[in-house]
């Protein structure tokens, strides 16, 4: 159910009135949770098992963490084991139930159907770890379980095949007679091995809650429904923004105040998002697809323009989704964080990342870069941390070497611009526009690796850009005109001429233009690019 | 380097100025309502739509239902509308070779019989066409052609469960009655329903059909010329120049149709057929059920309906297939009589006057028109009321 489809409109036509009608009761929250699960289950009901599992586990782990002392406290493990003498009834119950469940699961793993064996073994080990967490009253173990569980889900569904394929290639190259099976054989009861939509987003969101609680940055959420809604709130479940518990959870404490501005702002955001997706991203995708599917057939201008077009396509696609998500949430009275801030106006790579996919950038900053030491341990370590963060960010986007290179290139770019920004000449002499164009050119170059079907394709495109002849790129003038119009708009928005865009006539004119263009010129739409991540 | 701060006045950061307040949204809605309500009728006045006595909706505009409705609105109250699929439209013949042309000739009144056939239709779609775009037909005399071809197999009847691609999907029932071989997703089905009720959207489809080769504007700019490697002839064209405000007519020298066309020839050189159709029982046929609903709808709308049943090309069938055909034909006739609908069942035409199982050639239409016109029942019906 995509935001720009009729079924979603129908869904909202049911969800919104009931949501508002329940405002004076306690049922608005269960309704929101149920609607979110329905929305997610629409894609594939089996996906619900994962999101519910992830939610229940993190909710439970934080509850157990809350029963463990913050400071290190000596625990008489022997007394706990032999006489079940726990200071805390919840921990005692957790220990007993986890130990018994782990034993049961491991028995099933050993004796049950072979198709269930891998899942049961993994689950049994996890529950055994939980028993240890209760036994040692260790917050660290609970956090570790949450990390292992969420990352294992992500690794299994997103990266297992990539890892297995690469390992098999390596074994083959080393003449080792070993061949790992495809991860699909690990699926329980022969179910299909599919990447659940939005898994990278909801696991990161849920994980941020446990990490934040561990470090004392957020209160424990005692209401399961509230936490479930935090993990699966339908506007942002599929592709973010990846919200933080501190920002979103408090918004579910009571029915949000709804004013007229919720509707006007929400509609404004939604319209802009819809226009970005249907009128711009989908249009650009036709050209990009044509060129990238057969790069050998195109000369340098077409390859360059298709690469630039892809840069805009992914921006319009992803920021369009986010705008719509924020617009829907706003109408319902909730605030989702800003995720894109005109990134192609950035004057440095660091700034680019503070404008592009902001919720993910800040997630990596807070949970990877800073824990690695950030910029507090000298320049060399800072660059190492930057490099690792961007490397992981590249991997997050997909299981392929092209994403690894994309992340690495950005890491190098960030280091270079950071150094440049340290020099007086660069800061004062180089015009802002030149910096902006430089960043845009570099980012566009990296998109080649992001978009190409394979590493060899990417390298071939790079090669052809510099070696192939110049021929008519055959890019529609209308397409160029639309992108130019948006870029000029963005430049104006961040210039002293911004007041031109603030007049009522400009706003009304823009909205009318967008609606009419969508009615008359757009060509329907496919799914969002970021759903695959 | 400092990032430009997004505008944030009430907790919601915006990174553009398309942030409208209630008054501005009211203005937008007012403008949009005015545009959507006024554009289609004004367009009708501005756009030239030339139709002659034998006019039929060109093949390339078959899915322009807004234009179809506009065509129906042009017809005088005394005219008789001939409604049906490609048999009425005239798949193998030119404008001067259709059934309506020869009926006009017989009546000696050009334009008396209007060709309201659409290429690619079938009863399930015809029902939708009349229901949603056929209100100008109300209270008129209508000749409705019944083509039994649509009951010759479960596939033609659209009652198989395997997915089938067919024309005019936007006209068929989207949810009920269920068409098992129609597997469109919910979005497509809802979109089809919305378009039926939103005239502005129909008008937008008209623009695409008429000026952009049945493509959306963006698809038109990306159109390929069919060469390898393909070139894209429209990439630098000004789309506004395409809008000539003149609905194109059917090409006078259409190589696909007319007696000089290689397609315009008898279905067989021997005239003997051996086809064994898997006739669908009438009580199970989706197409026949749709046809029944269509007849009821026309009656409800005050139409004086005459059903033209066939003439199907019986020569094409193997001998043992004839009883099933007759059962179908007789079943249809019986239902029509029971429902007091005037029904004409012409004799089959000579074998060499058919191009296939159901489409006559030019001479076939001429003979058929003559037989119809000289039929006493038809004369009574035509001159009645």
ipTM of the complex: 0.86
Q: Is B38 on the interface with A (CB under 8 A)?
A: no
Closest Cα in chain B to A340:
B15
Tell me the chain B residues in contact with residue A260 when contact means C-beta distances shorter than 8 Å: 22
The reply to whether A218 and A294 lie within a common domain is: no
Does one domain contain both A324 and A202? Answer: no
Q: Quick one: pLDDT band at residue A408, thresholds 50, 70, 90?
A: very high
**pLDDT class for A124, splitting at 50, 70, 90?**
confident
Top pLDDT among A186 and A452 is at A452
Question: What confidence tens digit (pLDDT) does each residue in A41-78 have?
Answer: 998 888 898 899 999 999 999 998 888 877 666 777 77
pLDDT band at A533 (very low <50, low <70, confident <90, very high): low
| CB spacing of A6 vs B187 below 8 angstroms | yes
Nearest by CB to B12, from A7, A287, A335: name it.
A335
Three-class secondary structure assignment of A399-462: CCHHHHHHHHHHHHHHHHHHHHHCCHHHHHHCCHHHHHHHHHHHHHHHHHHHHCCCHHHHHHHH
Torsion of CA A487, A488, A489, A493, to 10 degrees: 100
Domain housing A119: 43-252
Count of CB contacts below 8 A, A vs B?
144
Q: Do A365 and A241 share a domain, yes or no? A: no
CA distances from A23 to A26, A222, A310 (A): 8, 21, 43
For an interface test with B, the pick among A1, A3, A5, A6 (most B C-beta atoms closer than 10 Å) comes out as: A6
Would you state the pLDDT for residue B7?
53
Residues A476, B194: C-beta atoms closer than 8 Å: no
What confidence score (pLDDT) does residue A62 get?
Answer: 94
Question: Has residue A410 been placed in a domain?
Answer: no
3-class state of residue B115 by DSSP: strand
CA of A493, closest CA in chain B: separation in Å?
7
Q: Which of A184, A218, A252 is the last residue of a domain?
A: A252
Average pLDDT, chain A: 89
- Same-domain status, A216 and A364: no
A236 in the same domain as A169: yes
| B208 min Cα distance to partner chain A (Å) | 9
Please give the residue of chain B at the shortest CA–CA distance from A331: B12
Q: How far apart are the first and last CA of chain A?
A: 17
Q: How many CB atoms lie within 10 A of CB A133?
A: 25
Dihedral sign of CA atoms B155, B159, B160, B165 in order: positive
Tokens read off for A445: 């170059």
* C-beta atoms of B16 and A520 within 8 A: no
Count of domains forming chain A:
2
Residue A226 maps to a domain:
yes
**Which chain B residues touch A5 with a CB distance below 8 Å?**
187
Closest Cα partner for A340 from A319, A309, A369?
A319
User: How large is the average pLDDT for residues A445-459?
Assistant: 92
In this predicted model, what pLDDT tens digit does every residue of A208-262 receive, in sequence order?
Answer: 999 999 999 999 999 999 999 999 999 998 887 999 999 999 999 999 999 999 9
More confident residue, A79 or B339: B339
Contact A474 B231 (CB under 8 A): yes
C-alpha triplet A390, A395, A398: angle, nearest 5°: 135
Predicted confidence at residue B9, as pLDDT, reads 46
Looking at residue A530, its pLDDT comes to 58
Does residue B199 belong to the interface with chain A, where contact is any CB pair within 8 Å?
Answer: no
Phi-psi map region of B84: left, alpha, beta (phi>0 left; psi -120 to 50 alpha):
left
Q: Which residues of chain A are within 8 Å of residue B31 when distances are taken between CB atoms?
A: 508, 512
CA–CA min distance A402, chain B (Å): 28
The answer to whether residues A241 and A134 belong to one domain is yes
Percent of chain A with pLDDT over 70: 97
CB contact under 8 A, A479 and B4: no
Angle, to 10 degrees, between the axis of helix A455-467 and the axis of helix A432-451? 130
Per-residue model confidence (pLDDT) at position A528: 60
For A4, name the nearest residue in chain B, comparing CA atoms only: B187
Structure tokens at A116: 């269930």
- Among the candidates A191, A217, A252, a domain finishes at A252
Active-site annotation holds for A410: no
Average pLDDT (A122-131) is: 86
For the question of whether the overall pTM of this predicted structure is more than 0.95, the answer is no
| CA torsion through residues A280, A409, A458, A169, sign | negative
In a domain, A408, yes or no: no
Close Cβ partners of A496 (under 8 Å, ≥ 6 residues apart): none
- List domains and CATH numbers for chain B: 51-182+250-383 (3.40.50.1110)
Task: Evaluate whether residue A357 is within a structural domain.
Answer: yes
**Residue B191 and residue A6: Cβ atoms within 8 Å?**
yes
Residues 6+ apart with CB under 8 A from B233: B223, B225
Tell me: pLDDT of A434 over 80: yes
Give Cβ neighbours of residue B241 (< 8 Å, ≥ 6 apart).
none
| Contacting residues of A for B19, CB less than 8 Å apart | 264-265, 268, 507
Same-domain status, A247 and A279:
no
Query: Mean pLDDT across the stretch A24-30?
Result: 95
Please give the pLDDT value at position A129: 87
**Per-residue pLDDT tens listing for chain B (385 residues):** 344 555 544 578 888 889 999 999 999 999 999 999 999 999 999 999 988 888 999 999 999 999 999 999 988 888 999 999 999 999 999 999 999 999 999 999 988 999 999 999 999 999 999 999 999 999 999 999 999 999 999 999 999 999 999 999 999 999 999 999 999 999 999 999 999 999 999 999 999 999 998 888 888 999 988 887 788 899 999 989 999 999 988 887 888 888 888 999 998 888 778 899 999 999 999 999 999 999 999 999 999 999 999 899 999 999 999 999 999 999 999 999 999 999 999 999 999 999 999 999 999 999 999 999 999 999 999 988 6
Do the Cβ atoms of A341 and B232 come within 8 Å? no
Of B19, B216, B235, the CB nearest to A521: B216
B232 touches chain A (CB under 8 A): yes
Cβ neighbours for B141, distance < 8 A, ≥ 6 positions apart: B80, B81, B303, B304, B306, B381, B382
Q: How confident is the model at residue A363 (pLDDT cuts 50, 70, 90)?
A: very high
Residue B157 has what pLDDT? 96
Contact B6 A341 (CB under 8 A): yes
Residues A228 and A280 in one domain: no
Looking at the complex, report in whole angstroms how far the Cα of residue A520 sits from the nearest Cα belonging to chain B: 6
Of A4, A357, A397, A410, which is the active-site residue? Answer: A397
- Is residue A376 a part of any domain in this protein? no
Q: Mind telling me how many Å the CA of A334 is from chain B's nearest CA?
A: 10
Nearest chain B residue to A273 by CA: give it: B18
Tell me whether residue A113 is exposed, middle or buried, using C-beta atoms within 10 angstroms of its C-beta: 0 to 12, 13 to 18, 19 or more.
Answer: exposed
Q: Is B265 on the interface with A (CB under 8 A)?
A: no
Specify the pLDDT at position B11.
72
Cβ–Cβ contact B33 with A under 8 A: no
Asked if residue A82 belongs to a domain, the reply is: yes
User: What angle do helix axes B123-133 and B65-73 make, rounded to 10 degrees?
Assistant: 60
CA A260 to CA A266: how far, in whole Å?
A: 10
Nearest Cα residue to A305 out of A478, A479, A473, A445:
A473
**Distance to chain A for B163, nearest Cα, Å:** 21
pLDDT (tens digit per residue) in A337-361: 999 999 999 999 989 999 999 999 9
Side-chain-facing half-sphere of B2: CA atoms under 13 Å: 4
Taking an 8 Å cut-off on Cβ atoms, the answer to whether B17 and A506 are in contact is yes
Q: CA of A370 to nearest chain B CA: how many angstroms apart?
A: 20
Helix (H/G/I), strand (E/B), else coil: A238: coil
In a domain, A406, yes or no: no
Q: Indicate if A349 and A301 belong to the same structural domain.
A: yes
Q: Are residues A56 and A135 in the same domain?
A: yes
Chain A residues with beta carbon closer than 8 angstroms to that of B234: 476
Q: In chain A, which residue's Cα lies nearest the Cα of B15?
A: A341
Burial of A374 (0-12, 13-18, 19+ CB in 10 A): middle
Clarify whether residues A242 and A293 are in a common domain.
no
Residues A366 and A475 in one domain: yes
pLDDT of residue A532: 60
Tell me how close the Cα of A431 comes to any Cα of chain B, in angstroms.
14
Residues of A in contact with B6 (CB under 8 A): 338, 341
Contact B19 A283 (CB under 8 A): no
| Sign, Cα dihedral of A219, A224, A228, A230 | negative
Distance CA A142, CA A138 (A): 7
Beta carbons of B35 and A516 less than 8 Å apart: yes
pLDDT of residue B2: 40
Instruction: Provide the token pair at A294.
Output: 């057969």
Q: Do A476 and B10 touch (CB under 8 A)?
A: no
Within 10 Å of residue B271's Cβ, how many Cβ atoms?
13
Taking phi over 0 as left and psi of -120 to 50 as alpha, with beta for the rest, A500 belongs to alpha
Cβ-Cβ contacts under 8 Å, A475 against chain B: 235
* Residue ranges of B 161-190 with Cβ closer than 8 A to chain A: 186-187, 190
pLDDT above 70 for A526: no
């Amino acid at each position: 159910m995509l935001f720009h489809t009729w079924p979603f409109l129908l869904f909202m036509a049911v969800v919104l009135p009931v949501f508002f009608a329940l405002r004076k009761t306690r049922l608005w929250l269960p309704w929101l949770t149920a609607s979110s699960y329905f929305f997610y289950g629409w894609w594939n009901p089996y996906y619900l098992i994962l999101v519910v599992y992830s939610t229940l586990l993190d909710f439970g782990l934080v509850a157990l963490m809350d029963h463990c002392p913050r400071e290190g406290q000596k625990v008489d493990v022997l007394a706990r084991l032999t006489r079940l003498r726990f200071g805390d009834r919840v921990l005692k119950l957790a220990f007993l139930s986890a130990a018994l469940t782990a034993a049961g699961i491991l028995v099933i793993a050993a004796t049950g159907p072979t198709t269930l064996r891998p899942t049961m073994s993994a689950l049994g080990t996890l529950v055994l770890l939980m028993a240890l967490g209760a036994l040692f009253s260790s917050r660290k173990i609970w956090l570790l379980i949450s990390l292992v569980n969420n990352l294992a889900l992500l690794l299994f569904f997103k990266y297992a095949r990539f890892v297995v394929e690469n390992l098999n290639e390596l074994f083959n190259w080393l003449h080792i007679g070993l061949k790992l099976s495809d991860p699909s054989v690990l699926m329980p009861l022969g179910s299909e091995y599919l990447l659940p939509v939005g898994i990278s987003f909801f696991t990161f969101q849920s994980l941020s809650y446990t990490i934040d609680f561990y470090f004392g940055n957020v209160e424990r959420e005692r209401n399961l429904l509230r936490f479930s809604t935090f993990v699966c709130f339908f506007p942002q479940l599929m592709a973010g923004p990846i919200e933080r518990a501190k920002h979103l959870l408090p918004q579910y404490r009571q029915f949000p105040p709804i004013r007229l501005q919720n509707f006007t702002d929400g509609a404004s955001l939604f319209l802009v998002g819809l226009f970005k997706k249907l009128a711009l991203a989908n249009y650009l995708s036709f050209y990009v697809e044509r060129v990238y599917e057969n790069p050998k057939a195109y000369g340098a201008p077409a390859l360059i323009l298709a690469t630039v077009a892809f840069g805009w396509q992914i921006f319009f696609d992803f920021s369009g989704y986010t705008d719509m998500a924020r617009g829907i949430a706003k109408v319902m009275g909730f605030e989702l964080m800003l995720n894109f801030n005109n990134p192609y106006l950035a004057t440095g790579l660091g700034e680019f990342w503070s404008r592009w996919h902001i919720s993910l950038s800040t997630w990596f900053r807070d949970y990877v870069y800073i824990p690695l030491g950030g910029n507090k341990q000298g320049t060399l370590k800072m660059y190492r941390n930057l490099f690792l963060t961007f490397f992981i960010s590249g991997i997050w986007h997909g299981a392929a070497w092209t994403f690894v290179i994309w992340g690495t290139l950005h890491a190098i770019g960030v280091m270079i611009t950071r150094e440049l920004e340290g020099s007086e000449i660069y800061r004062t002499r180089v015009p802002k526009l030149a910096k902006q164009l430089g960043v845009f050119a570099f980012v566009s170059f990296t998109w080649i690796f992001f978009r190409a079907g394979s590493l060899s394709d990417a390298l071939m495109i790079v090669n052809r850009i510099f070696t192939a002849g110049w021929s008519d790129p055959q890019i529609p003038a209308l397409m160029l005109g639309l992108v130019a119009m948006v870029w000029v708009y963005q430049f104006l928005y961040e210039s002293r001429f911004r007041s031109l865009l603030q007049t009522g006539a400009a706003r009304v004119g823009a909205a009318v233009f967008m609606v009419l263009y969508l009615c008359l010129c757009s060509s329907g739409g496919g799914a969002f690019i970021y759903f695959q991540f | 380097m400092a990032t430009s701060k997004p505008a944030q006045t009430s907790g919601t950061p915006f990174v553009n100025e398309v942030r409208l307040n209630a008054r501005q949204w009211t203005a937008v809605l007012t403008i949009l309502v005015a545009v959507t309500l006024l554009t289609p009728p004004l367009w009708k006045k501005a756009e030239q739509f030339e139709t002659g006595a034998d006019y039929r909706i060109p093949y390339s505009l078959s899915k322009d239902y807004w234009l179809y409705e506009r065509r129906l609105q042009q017809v005088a109250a005394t005219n008789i509308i001939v409604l049906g699929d490609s048999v009425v439209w005239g798949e193998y013949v030119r404008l001067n070779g259709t059934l309506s042309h020869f009926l006009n000739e017989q009546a000696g009144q050009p334009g008396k019989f209007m060709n309201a056939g659409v290429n690619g239709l079938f009863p399930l779609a015809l029902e939708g066409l009349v229901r949603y775009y056929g209100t100008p037909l109300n209270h008129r005399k209508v000749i409705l052609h019944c083509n039994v071809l649509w009951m010759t197999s479960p596939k033609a009847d659209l009652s198989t469960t395997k997915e089938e691609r067919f024309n005019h999907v936007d006209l068929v029932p989207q949810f009920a009655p269920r068409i098992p071989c129609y597997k469109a997703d919910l979005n497509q089905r809802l979109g089809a329903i919305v378009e039926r009720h939103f005239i502005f959207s129909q008008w937008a489809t008209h623009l695409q059909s008429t000026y952009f080769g049945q493509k959306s504007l963006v698809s038109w700019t990306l159109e390929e010329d069919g060469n390898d490697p393909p070139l894209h002839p429209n990439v630098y064209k000004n789309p506004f120049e395409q809008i000539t405000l003149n609905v194109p007519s059917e090409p006078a020298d259409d190589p696909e149709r007319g007696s000089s066309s290689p397609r315009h020839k008898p279905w067989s050189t021997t005239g003997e057929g051996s086809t064994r159709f898997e006739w669908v029982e009438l009580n199970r046929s989706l197409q026949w059920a749709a046809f029944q609903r269509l007849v009821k709808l026309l009656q409800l709308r005050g139409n004086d309906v005459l059903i033209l049943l066939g003439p199907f090309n019986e020569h094409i069938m193997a001998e043992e297939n004839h009883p099933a055909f007759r059962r179908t034909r007789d079943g249809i006739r019986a239902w029509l009589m029971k429902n007091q609908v005037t029904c004409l069942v012409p004799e089959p035409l000579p074998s060499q006057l058919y191009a296939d199982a159901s489409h006559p050639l030019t001479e076939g239409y001429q003979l058929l028109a003559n037989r119809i016109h000289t039929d006493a029942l038809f004369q009574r019906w035509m001159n009645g009321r």
